[in-house]
Structure 1
Amino acid sequence: MTVSYPRLAARTLRFTLGIPRNVTVSPDGATVRFIRTHDGVTRTGQLWEHDVATGRETVLVDPAELLGDAGEQLSAEERSRRERSRESAAGLVGYDVDATGRWACFALSGALWAVHLGAGAVSALPSVGAVIDPRLDPTGRHVAYASGGSLRVVGVDGSGERALVSPQTDTEVWGQAEFIAAEEMDRHRGFWWSPDGTSLLVERFDDAPVQTWHVADPEHPERQPVSQRYPAAGTPNAEVTLWHVGLDGSRTEIVWDRDGFEYLGRVTWTRHGAPLLQVLSRDQKRSQVLSVDVTTGATSVLRTLASDTWVELTSAPRWTPAGRLVTVEAGDAWQVVVDEAPVTPPTWQVRSIVETFDDCVIATASDDPTQVQVVRLGFDGSVTPLTEGAAVHGAVVGGPTTVISRSGLDVVGTTVTVHRDGADPTSVGVVSEPAPLEPRVTMLEAGEIGIRTAVLFPRDHQPGSVRLPVLMDPYGGPHAQRVLSSARAFLEAQWLADQGFCVVVADGRGTPGRGPAWERLVHEDFAGVTLDDQVTALAAVAEAYPDDVDISRVGITGWSYGGYLSALAVLKRPDVFHVAVAGAPVTEWRLYDTCYTERYLGDPAQQPEVYDRNSLIPMAPLLERPLMLIHGLADDNVVAAHTLRLSSALLAAGRPHTVLPLSGVTHMTPQEVVAENLKLLQVQFLKEHLA
């Protein structure tokens, strides 16, 4: 039986199952460990080991053997954590290794497990409640984990299990990242071990100030709605503090100007110096990098960052082995700064730091916004690319060994290669499901500002044979880049094109890859800038392919911010866009969270006109084109109220539209049947209205 592309994409998690992930390298560089599923359709991750000298791969942990017929059970807290990190896999989805390379630990089905890496022995450790985010101390003697609002610790030999800190109220939580940190700051951890393994820095948050929302399941009216603390724009956040907690029970609060810098953005603690924090003001226009004295809890300001728009949280500040401070900051480009001095040229956009040395950093960076390379950035200003070509690369470094991942335009798939000084490279096995199609992507630079645009025609299209309807397929907003030199990134776009469209994917102003000035051009103007850039990209495609596209038939589809942009397009520019499918759209920014929304649009109490200008609700009477709204009713990120409010406004204005509610579906749609039928219904709707 032939499986449709949408169903196969859902089954394989967009063809990511079977690709090594969570890669770590042993301190001596001799062993590479990673999580990988058994094949390209099984969601259960296993822990594997790759011997660098021989290339031999061995399964260290197989969840099926540990759990047997009982199968995996997830707590509500773990399901929420995975929703924040957009994690759809099962089994092992994370693990931790101590600095000695002797032990690993992981959570599985709510229980705590340890692996003696030398012997390959796996054992369950005593634990209480559902285990979340276990971490080994660097010396390999203890494991700390979060559970039930407490932070607990146990010896790797199973001794001394106990709570280090526990909540005093139902809204207090220790050792976990609060909703805003995990959803919008890309910080998913809530505790950090000291280098000597005798104490930890531990986040404590209290959700008491945060308003309570209720997410109901209309398909099951007999069930109680799920109560959720949701910090919508302009409302209180959780109260977040940081504490130094000793294994002996001692506790000291870390002190900084929390009134001026509400957000705890980054934390690092290594053997090269005192702990480092990066804190951020509520309006996100000011940030400080702080050094912590764990004995007293006092902090010292090392760097102060400011912006008229916002300060972006990038790679966490860190020390070099020699004790120099390294940060990634906004200048003419995203640049490495060492002891307050920029050391990288503006021709490269630094994306993330991989590893820090005395005279350089290994980083991912771009000199072409569609490509990501691994580079050596010398503190003398030198740049030495370690990878090349039209591809997206990543890296992990351990001792003399570097592991490079590559996903390019030339081949559909990902390779993982191990490079060790003085040895021939070896490959880590990739067992992902082969993609049933090969994207044919053409890259354009649209308009005077060179909007990076990908164009895909049906694979059987003969140039000049027929003028096809155009389907714009954007995300289009901050923090997400679609136009990258990776064939796998365009599999769905190619499938859509094969349904009879010219598919256009464009990264306009505000998207990553082009530097701080480019990203900040959306400040206070989602509804103007991001939509204008989609129109510009469409015009460029029409000019490049006058005999192949019909711009009297233009559709647009997207999810999340892309859903907002799609609905906006038919509301504001019906002269250009003729039909839209908007999935999980943010329709009223006052209903979205504090950190994301206030970063770009400010405080709704102080700037209500900015929110009104960017909201879709006041535009409802303008609708004159077909619009399908899709929303998961269990979505706790962009709640279903967004779609329901826009639908009510459209109904009040007498504007016909289509609403497709998805019962039990969150912001992700990994279920095979739902994903398949959802795509087929969208294509049918678009075809009907672009015929």
Structure 2
Amino acid sequence: MTTETPEPVSFPRRHARTQRFTLGAPRAFTVAPDGSRVVFLRSSSGTDRANSLWLLDPSDGRERLAADPGVLLGGTAERLPPEELARRERSREGGAGIVGYATDAAVELAAFALSGRLFTAELRAGTARELRVPGPVVDPRPSPDGRLVAYVARGALRVTGADGTDGTDGTDSADGTGGENGGKASPGADGVPATTARTLAEPESDQVTYGLAEFIAAEEMGRSRGFWWSPDSDRLLVARVDDTPVRRWWISDPAQPERDPRHVPYPAAGTPNAEVRLFVYGLDGTRTEVVWDRARFPYLARVHWSAAGAPLLLVQARDQRGQLFLAVDPDTGTTRMVHADEDPIWLDLFPGVPCWSPSGQLVRITDEGGARVLAVGERPLTGGQLHVRAVLDVTSDDALVQASAGERAAAPEIGELHVYRVNELGVERLSEEPGVHSAVRSGGVTVLVSATLDRPGGRARVLRDGKPVATIRSYAEEPGFSPRVLLTQGGARQIPCAVLMPTDYPGDTSLPVLLDPYGGPHGARVLAAHNAHLTSQWFADQGFAVVVADGRGTPGRSPAWEKAIRDDVAAVALQDQVDALQALAADHPLDLGRVAIRGWSFGGYLAALAVLRRPDVFHAAVVGAPVTDLRLYDTHYQERYLGLPQEGPEIYRRNSLVDDAGLVDAAEPARPMMIIHGLADDNVVVAHSLRLSSALLAAGRPHEVLPLAGVTHMTPQETVAENLLRLQLDFLRRSLDLPAPEAP
């Protein structure tokens, strides 16, 4: 009797099953201020989506489970409220279990939500429990002193005691109306003690929420929160969002005709935004509005409240060319200007800033002298050698920043991101090996997270006073192969590029080319990191030379590089792809007679642009979730690059795909296109692809449309993600007239 060897699992399936080989890797680190604990999330294997909460003791490197979602939920499946689903879509969170948590100031208490229920973990004791409160619970956050937990439920901000009471004298009940339990916990039907909670801020209508970030704050500004505790734990800053002015769109699932469409507010370019106000709420129910010129500066971009100074706001003008840093008097709600910025093109937002230094100076990232620098007070501490990307930590001795090499650096560091220590004495690089690095630091302990080209996945090392003391285990699966990638530069503008050849390529023949870019704002893809190139290598191993180019508009090089796309996104981004391709062909065996391009989101837009405007260069395109009519994308993103459509209709016309003259120019060759779009996408709605398909059909242009029922912008479903790669490969082979692979 013979035993058959099981067929190895394909890369597309493993890539989908492991969520791009990220499951099982530690993430979301927090370090206790005394350096005694490192808190993080991690799932139990490379195919397990459910994250648990873990602790590591830097003194001995031992890890301990702090909260297991399977145990806490009793083995029942998760059921997420709509608000939590929306938060995860905005953050592109595809995991399950504990996907986020918050701690008190001492990092002794953690709070998190599971299935819309509130849980806390006492990190020293190693115990976790549920607090039965009115829900569904979204974004729970302990007070700095660990005595209370605030959270959002049905658009209302509520506060409950971390000890199972409401944290007051017992005059409020779980429904906020006052009750007979006297603030004490009583058992629920399933034995879990019921916990009282007080409602601090109650929405006045279905269009109003308290304590949640509005759509564009979460999607485009990098602000996912809507409330902030005071350092003294006695009051909170709370955002009030009124979506009444925002136009409503319908998101439906044609595959489920019995279901009602979702009615969602979507602030498309040139249309009204949500009205955002900010209030100081005392725990006694008092409310004071924070006052600033909201008519001129309507965007609440950042909020910071620490013991180093007054509450600090960053508010932006709608055109994003002016912004104010404001200090708030929490007693009166008045604000005073700390600093003002203006830029003739636009002003960017950055992680970790603004904040106060321990000495009370304003810390910010700003563009000065053609460079992106760290400034403390009015003094820049870095220059053109660094392009500062984020502030990771600020102490009385230094600031920890993440930065790439600036244009005036001694040598280019293609695709690298490093961690630097900056102070009055100078700049010191803490991450040594070439790669992509970030860090979390507190109490003399740093968690340095690193990815390199020669090592699968990432590595999280714990340093004390700069010396390694532990490595946090990763359970992520390894892909089983390494990309054959060359990081280089192409063209007169020295465009950062990655070139990938088949693993077994002998180098004696030219290869059909596949461009695999994102190519736009916020999305660098040329990275000195192993796993960043896995999908590109898989396509290369199917017989392609794969080229990834980060042209103008992508982050990490200089302010001028990023802002070169203003008013001309399409022409600039596309030209840099063409220039990179043609320059690389002089040194690599690229068959310029067979060139395809694939991309998703901005990359999908760029792929469609390529075959419509440059059919002399590009011969086929896979167009994933593209923005085609730029008037249909959101305000904060689209207006940053193109202004208001009412003021520049011609700018929007020449940058949009559906108005492209190439659609109806019969003299140009028609290049095949595969258009892919999730029908449940509430970010780039499917109307973009439907309008493009209608325009192509009217012009007699060949194309294919692949609608994905129930799929959003991030396509987390395993079978969908797997088969999308296979279908794209089949389309590319057909479109470029490539031979089918040999049968095994």
Which TM-score tier does this pair reach, normalised by the shorter chain? over 0.9
- Alignment correspondent of 2:404: 366
The answer to whether the 8 A contact 1:366-1:373 is kept is: yes
CA distance in 2, matches of 1:649, 1:422: 59
Contact 1:5 1:436 in 2 (8 A): no
Give how far 1:570 is off.
0.2
Q: Which residue of 1 aligns with 2:421?
A: 376
- Which of 334-343 and 248-257 deviates more? 334-343
Q: Distance in 2 between matches of 1:667 and 1:656?
A: 25
1:323 to 354, 360, 385: 360
Distance (whole Å) between structure 2 residues aligned to residue 422 and residue 437 of structure 1: 32
Name which of 458, 463, 468 aligns with 2:511.
468
Match of 1:613? Answer: 654
Query: Is contact 1:338-1:379 (8 Å) kept?
Result: no
Instruction: Give the secondary structure class of the aligned counterpart of 2:281.
Output: strand
Q: Which amino acid aligns with 1:351?
A: R
| 1:221, distance to aligned residue in structure 2 (A) | 1.1
Query: How much is the aligned-residue C-alpha RMSD, in angstroms?
Result: 1.1
- The offset of 1:369, in angstroms, is 5.0
> Which residue, 528, 534, 537 being the options, matches 2:580?
537
Structure 2 equivalent of residue 592 of structure 1: 633
Q: Deviations over 1:460-504 (max 9, x none)?
A: 1011x2211000001001011100110110011101111110000
The answer to whether the Cα contact below 8 Å between 2:414 and 2:528 also exists between their aligned partners in 1 is no
- 1:339 equivalent to 2:377? Answer yes
Alpha-carbon shift at residue 616 of structure 1 (Å)? 0.5
Q: Which of the residues 597, 619, 623 maps onto 1:556? A: 597
What code does the residue aligned with 2:448 have?
I
Cα pair 1:4 1:676 within 8 Å, conserved: no
Give a deviation string over 1:241-260, Cα, whole Å, max 9, x none: 01001111010010001011
Q: What's the counterpart of residue 180 of structure 2?
A: none
* CA contact 1:268–1:318 (8 Å) conserved in 2: yes
Segments of 4+ moved more than 3 angstroms: none
Residue deviations 1:566-600 (CA, integer Å, cap 9, x gap): 00000000000000010000000000001100000
Task: Report the AA paired with residue 562 of structure 1.
Answer: G
How far is the alpha carbon of 1:126 from its aligned partner?
2.5
Whether the aligned pair in 2 keeps the contact of 1:287 and 1:305 (CA below 8 Å) is: yes
**2:676–2:708 contact (8 Å) kept in structure 1:** yes
Q: How does 1:249-268 map to 2 (within 5 A)?
A: 249-268=285-304
| Residue 440 (str. 1) matches residue 484 (str. 2) | yes
The aligned residue for residue 150 of structure 1 is 156
Give the aligned residue type for 2:78.
E
TM-score under structure 2 length normalisation: 0.91
Find the counterpart in structure 2 of residue 420 from structure 1. Answer: 464
SS at match of 1:69: coil
| Letter of the structure 2 residue corresponding to residue 521 of structure 1 | A
Aligned residue for 2:644?
603
2:522 corresponds to which of 470, 479, 492 = 479
Contact 2:327 2:337 in 1 (8 A): yes
SS in 2 for 1:175: strand
Q: What do residues 165-192 of structure 1 show as CA deviations (whole Å, max 9, x unaligned)?
A: 0101110000000000000001100000
Letter in structure 2 aligned against 1:409: L
Q: How far, CA to CA, are the matches of 1:442 and 1:123 in structure 2?
A: 50
Residue 340 of structure 2 aligns with which residue? 304
Report what 1:509 is aligned to. Answer: 552
Instruction: Report the equivalent of 2:450.
Output: 406
Contact 2:611-2:620 at 8 Å conserved across structures? yes
Cα deviation, residue 423, structure 1: 5.9
What residue is the counterpart of 2:24 in the other structure? 18
State the one-letter code of the partner of 2:382. T
Distance in 2 (alpha carbons) for counterparts of 1:388 and 1:422: 12
Name the SS for the 2:536 alignment partner. helix
Q: What is the CA distance between 1:388 and its match in structure 2? A: 1.8
Distance 1:497 1:283 in 2: 42
Question: Runs of 5+ in structure 1 lacking a partner?
Answer: none
Going from structure 1 to structure 2, the CA distance change for 1:481 and 1:30 (only over 3 Å counts) comes to same
Q: In structure 2, what is the equivalent of residue 113 of structure 1?
A: 119
Distance 1:549 1:506 in 2: 15
Q: Secondary structure at the match of 1:173?
A: strand
Other structure's SS at 1:232 match: coil
| 1:11 CA drift (Å) | 1.1
1:6 paired with 2:51, answer: no
Offset of 1:421 from its aligned partner? 2.5
How far is 1:436 from its partner?
Answer: 2.4
Deviation at 1:100, TM superposition (A): 2.0
Unaligned runs of 5+ in 2: 1-6, 167-196, 406-412, 739-744
SS of the residue 1:384 aligns to: strand
**2:143 counterpart residue number:** 137
**Given the superposition, is the C-alpha separation of residues 683 and 424 from structure 1 closer, same or farther in structure 2, using an over 3 Å criterion?**
closer
Structure 2 distance, partners of 1:402, 1:100, is 16
How many residues align? The count is: 687
Matches within 5 A, 1:348-367: 348-367=386-405
Q: Which moved more, 1:59-68 or 1:363-372?
A: 363-372
Q: Which residue type is aligned with residue 585 of structure 2? A: A
Which residue number corresponds to residue 475 of structure 2?
Answer: 431
Q: C-alpha displacement at 1:422, in angstroms?
A: 8.0
Contact kept in structure 2, 1:344 and 1:379, CA below 8 Å: no
Would the aligned equivalents of 2:121 and 2:128 in 1 still touch at CA under 8 Å? yes
Structure 2: how far apart are the matches of 1:7 and 1:525? 39
Q: In structure 1, the residue corresponding to 2:449 is in which secondary structure? A: strand
**Is 1:96 aligned to 2:102, yes or no?**
yes
Q: 2:205 aligns with which of 169, 173, 177?
A: 169
- 1:674 equivalenced with 2:720 (yes/no): yes
Note if 1:227 corresponds to 2:250. Answer: no
Equivalent residue letter for 2:89: E
- 1:196 alignment partner AA: D
State the match for 2:223 in structure 1: 187
How far is the alpha carbon of 1:194 from its aligned partner?
Answer: 0.1
Question: Alpha-carbon deviation of 1:69?
Answer: 3.0
Contact 2:241 2:274 in 1 (8 A): yes
How far did 1:359 drift? 3.8
Cα distance in 2 between the residues matched to 1:137 and 1:515: 39
Deviations 1:147-167 (A, max 9, x none): 100000001011111111010
Q: Secondary structure at the match of 1:541?
A: helix
Please give the per-residue CA displacement for 1:387-412, whole angstroms capped at 9, x wherever unaligned: 12220011010101111011001212
Task: State the alpha-carbon separation in 2 of the partners of residues 68 and 125 from structure 1.
Answer: 15
Counterpart of 2:428 in structure 1: which amino acid?
Answer: T
Amino acid at match of 1:345: G
Alignment pair present for 1:276 and 2:312: yes
What is the Cα deviation at residue 614 of structure 1? 0.3
Asked if 1:74 is matched to 2:74, the reply is no
CA contact (8 A) 2:392 2:400 kept: yes
Q: Secondary structure at the match of 2:16?
A: helix
Counterpart for residue 449 of structure 1: 493
Computing the radius of gyration over CA atoms, which structure comes out larger, 1 or 2? 2
Shift of 1:337: 0.9
- Please report how far the alpha carbon of residue 670 of structure 1 lies from its aligned counterpart in structure 2 after TM superposition: 1.4
- Equivalent of residue 686 in structure 1, options 729, 732, 738: 732
What corresponds to 1:59 in structure 2? 65
Deviations 1:295-331 (A, max 9, x none): 1101111111111111111132111111111111112
The answer to whether the Cα contact below 8 Å between 2:461 and 2:468 also exists between their aligned partners in 1 is no
| Native 8 Å contact 1:369 1:513 kept in 2 | no
Answer whether contact 1:375 1:384 (CA < 8 A) is retained: yes
Where do residues 199-210 of structure 1 align in structure 2 (5 Å cutoff)? 199-210=235-246
Alignment match, 1:389: 433
- Distance in 2, Cα, partners of 1:124 & 1:293: 36
Shift of 1:456: 0.2
Alpha-carbon distance in 1 for matches of 2:620, 2:100: 42
Letter in 2 for 1:478: P
